[in-house]
Structure 1
Amino acid sequence: MGRNLGDGYRAVRAADNIHLNLTAHDTDLYDTDIVFWKWDSTDNQMWTIASYLERIWWD
């Protein structure tokens, strides 16, 4: 994870090349490509990781 960009958002970087960041490219409602791209300080490069399940129970 990259530096904190505010409000819990961070840049997600490639492990083998820290100059590339995870980017939502050509954003469209149904067809968005997720790619690694050079940093350009746009909202489509700011990510947060949040869980949506509190617990998973295994029986």
Structure 2
Amino acid sequence: MRFFNLTLLLTILVILSAVDASWFLSRFKKFNRRGRNRKLGEPAPIGVEEIQDGN
């Protein structure tokens, strides 16, 4: 039972770190895209707004 609890905790930690890394990457890409190669009036990349709402 103790081993199962440890595995569950580790799994949750891995999932959270993966979500955090993807959120950071999407923020960084959006920041890069803002000035240079994004056309005027082009919609933001899909998924960025939902991720920001979650945090």
Shorter-chain-normalised TM-score: which range? under 0.3
Structure showing the higher strand proportion among its residues: 1
What is the TM-score when the length of structure 1 is the normalising length? 0.17
Indicate the structure whose relative CO is greater, using CA pairs within 8 Å and at least 6 residues apart. 2
Structure showing the higher helix proportion among its residues: 2
What is the TM-score when the length of structure 2 is the normalising length? 0.18
Mark the structure with the bigger radius of gyration: 2
